[in-house]
């Protein structure tokens, strides 16, 4: 339905001023809500007051919910309106008019506020005027009384508690000054009532950070001198392991030894404000790193995340060899993988979390274990006569010895059932557990050794391991093969950190293109350009991401900061 909404406003002189606006909708909703087509700008109107619809060849108005409307003075919940009819919705009067012939609109709707809110307010104000004198209360005595109460509660009591706390502290510090940590522990245990439940909290200039809330209201735990800034020695009594940002020997201008802790860490700014996280704090130096370090740094200039260069691991030269053969693309086939021991035609659809789970910190992915994620499909059984035995997924030497021990056990116990075309001496096919002579034992062990060699060098040995691992051959001894070492897992963001937990709303494939990877050597970590699809700088329209979102200031190296006290 297309309408021309004509808003009528009456001047003090009595003249009407009209403003036209084209609206379209099916239906046309009237109300105070943000999603309506005809906005009723009055607090007495409901969010959804009524609805105009076309049906049965006419225009109908339906009240919403418990609302009512008036058509020609009659209160109704729904009714048909014709051209020229007047109706009311809330404090507004509306009229349906025919649209001009040269307009593509169906109708004109006029709307006028006929019950102004000011009249109700003024009338209510006249009936509700009440003075203090009407209650028999004299203002001056009450003002003095309230002033005294405020002075006692918020000035006298805090002062008494402060000096009482200092007296208690002197008693408890007979063995020397107490550190903030000792004061915190005393707080928790109630030792000496060093910090009473007090009114001193009203003297705080702002809320403590979440890290320091444990100190309670004991201002002097940090402020050793009243109304003075906290000294570095007070901070270091707890934060003894704070490290330099960089090597102060190589970069003496970057040492924090002469810097007051509070110059960066502003307390009483709320739960999350203790760590300075503005981009300017970092870009002051890193915006022109060469000038800051006299050309000693190899880092590139950066002023915000938008100018962040490629991650180190994006360089193929920084990627280690895995020693594995693995295709993510094959395992992530949308039709699924065949289930070896399942029903005919049964397939299992795998996804990323079938094998990969974040560790307890949510920061990195835990290493997939063969027994937990691979063994269901990739069986390590090697001998039908010993279905309970599987090659241990461990060191190659251990696995080979396990095969030899298994066949030695089978040979000495007996009961081996040879397959078609397979030769096996009678001694290993005898009734299980029957006695053997010394010569028969030697014959059985010789067969076991030969059989183990056959398996180790054949399909259930080298070939089975070679399905997923790269084999290292020994030209002088075919049975002395081994596997390429798999490097230990490492963190590729050496100077940064990442947490998967806040990213669970995104699918794995949005950052990791695993479904296109056919080589185990593909490093499926996202490039910096992928991160920039969602993350921007401090003032960007994307997710605000500052330097401290991924980097920590004090943990770039292991050199303890020697701050001046």
Handedness of CA 25, 29, 34, 37 (dihedral sign): positive
Strand order in the sheet with 50-55: 38-39, 28-31, 50-55, 58-63, 78-81
Q: Residue 313 is encoded by which pair of tokens?
A: 């691991």
Contacting residues for 326 by C-beta, under 8 A, at least 6 apart: 468, 519, 520
Name the nearest CA neighbour of 368 among 399, 318, 326, 396.
Answer: 326
Q: Within its chain, how far is the Cα of 105 from the centroid?
A: 50
Residues 430-463: b if buried by 16+ CB within 10 A, e if exposed: beeeeebeeebeebbbebbeebbbbbbbeebbbe
- Give the SS3 label for residue 95: strand
Q: Residue 513 is encoded by which pair of tokens?
A: 């293109």
CB atoms within 10 A of CB 258: 8
pLDDT at 119: 60
Name the nearest CA neighbour of 77 among 65, 69, 85, 87.
Answer: 69
Class of domain 2-121: mainly beta
User: HSE (CB half, 13 Å, CA atoms) of 493?
Assistant: 13
Q: How far apart are CA 272 and CA 211, in angstroms?
A: 9
pLDDT at 280: 84
Q: Give this prediction's pTM.
A: 0.56
Contact between 403 and 452 (Cβ < 8 Å):
yes
Residue limits of CATH 2.60.200.20 in the chain: 2-121
pLDDT at 554: 78
pLDDT at 481: 94
φ, ψ (nearest 5 deg) of residue 182: -65, -40
Per-residue pLDDT of the chain (565 residues; tens, 9 = 90+): 899 999 999 887 878 899 999 999 989 999 999 999 999 999 889 999 999 999 888 999 999 988 889 998 889 999 999 999 999 999 999 999 999 988 889 999 999 998 887 666 666 676 676 666 667 777 788 889 999 998 888 788 777 766 665 545 544 444 444 555 565 565 555 544 444 445 666 677 778 888 787 776 667 778 777 677 888 888 888 887 777 888 888 888 778 877 888 888 888 887 776 777 788 888 888 888 888 888 888 888 888 888 888 888 888 887 777 889 999 999 999 999 888 877 877 889 999 989 988 877 777 778 888 998 898 888 899 999 999 999 999 899 999 999 999 999 999 999 999 888 888 999 999 999 899 999 999 999 999 999 999 999 999 899 999 999 999 999 999 999 999 988 876 677 777 888 888 888 888 889 998 999 999 888 888 999 999 999 987 776 788 888 888 888 876 555 544 444 3
Q: How far apart are CA 522 and CA 468, in angstroms?
A: 15
pLDDT at 269: 80
Q: How far apart are CA 170 and CA 416, in angstroms?
A: 86
**What are the distances in angstroms from CA 380 to CA 384, 386, 389, 404?**
12, 12, 8, 15
Q: How far apart are CA 174 and CA 218, in angstroms?
A: 19
């Amino acid at each position: 339905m297309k309408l021309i909404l004509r808003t009528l406003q009456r001047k003090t002189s009595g003249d009407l001023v009209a403003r036209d606006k084209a609206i379209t909708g099916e239906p046309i909703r009237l109300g105070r809500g943000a999603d309506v087509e005809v906005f009723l700008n009055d607090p007495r109107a409901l969010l959804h007051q009524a609805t105009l619809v076309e049906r049965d060849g006419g225009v109908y108005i339906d009240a919403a919910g418990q609302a009512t409307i008036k058509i020609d003075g009659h209160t109704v919940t729904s009714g048909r309106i014709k051209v020229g009819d007047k109706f009311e919705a809330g404090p507004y009067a509306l009229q349906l008019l025919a649209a001009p012939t040269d307009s593509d609109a169906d109708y004109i709707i006029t709307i006028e506020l006929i019950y102004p809110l000011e009249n109700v307010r003024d009338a209510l104000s006249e009936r509700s005027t009440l003075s203090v004198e009407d209650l028999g209360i004299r203002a001056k005595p009450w003002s003095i009384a309230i002033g005294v109460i405020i002075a006692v509660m918020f000035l006298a009591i805090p002062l008494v508690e402060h000096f009482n706390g200092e007296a208690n502290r002197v008693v408890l510090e007979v063995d020397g000054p107490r550190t903030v940590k000792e004061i915190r522990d005393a707080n928790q245990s109630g030792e000496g009532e060093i910090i009473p439940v007090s009114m001193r909290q009203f003297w705080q200039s702002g809320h403590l950070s979440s890290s320091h809330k444990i100190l309670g209201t004991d201002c002097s735990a940090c402020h050793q001198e009243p109304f003075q800034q906290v000294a570095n020695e007070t901070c270091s009594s707890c934060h003894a392991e704070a490290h330099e940002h960089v090597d102060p020997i190589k970069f003496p201008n970057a040492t924090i030894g002469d810097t007051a802790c509070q110059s960066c860490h502003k307390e009483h700014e709320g739960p999350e404000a203790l760590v300075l996280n503005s981009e300017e704090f970092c870009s002051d130096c890193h915006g022109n790193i060469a000038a800051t370090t006299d050309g000693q740094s190899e880092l590139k200039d950066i002023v915000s995340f938008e100018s962040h260069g490629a991650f180190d691991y994006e360089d193929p030269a920084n990627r280690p060899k895995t020693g594995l053969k693995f295709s993510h693309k094959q395992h992530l086939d949308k039709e699924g993988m065949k289930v070896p021991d399942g029903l005919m035609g049964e397939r299992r659809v795998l996804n990323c979390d079938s094998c990969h789970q974040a560790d307890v910190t949510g920061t990195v992915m835990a290493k997939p274990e063969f027994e937990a994620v691979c063994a269901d499909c990739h069986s390590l059984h090697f001998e039908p006569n010993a279905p309970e035995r599987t090659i241990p997924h461990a060191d190659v030497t251990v696995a080979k010895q396990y095969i030899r021990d298994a066949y030695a056990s089978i040979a000495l116990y007996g009961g081996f059932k040879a397959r078609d075309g397979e030769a096996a001496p009678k001694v290993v096919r005898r009734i299980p557990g029957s006695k053997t002579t010394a010569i028969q034992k030697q014959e059985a062990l010789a067969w076991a050794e030969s059989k183990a060699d056959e398996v180790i060098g054949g399909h259930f040995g080298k070939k089975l391991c070679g399905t997923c691992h790269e084999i290292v051959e020994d030209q002088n001894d075919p049975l002395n093969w081994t596997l390429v070492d798999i490097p230990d897992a490492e963190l590729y963001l050496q100077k940064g950190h990442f947490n998967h937990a806040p990213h669970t709303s995104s699918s794995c494939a949005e950052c990791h293109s695993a479904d296109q990877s056919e080589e185990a050597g593909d490093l499926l970590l996202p490039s910096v350009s992928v991160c920039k699809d969602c993350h921007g700088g401090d003032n960007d329209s994307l997710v605000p991401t500052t330097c401290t979102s991924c980097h920590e200031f004090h943990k770039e190296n292991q050199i303890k900061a020697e701050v001046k006290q």
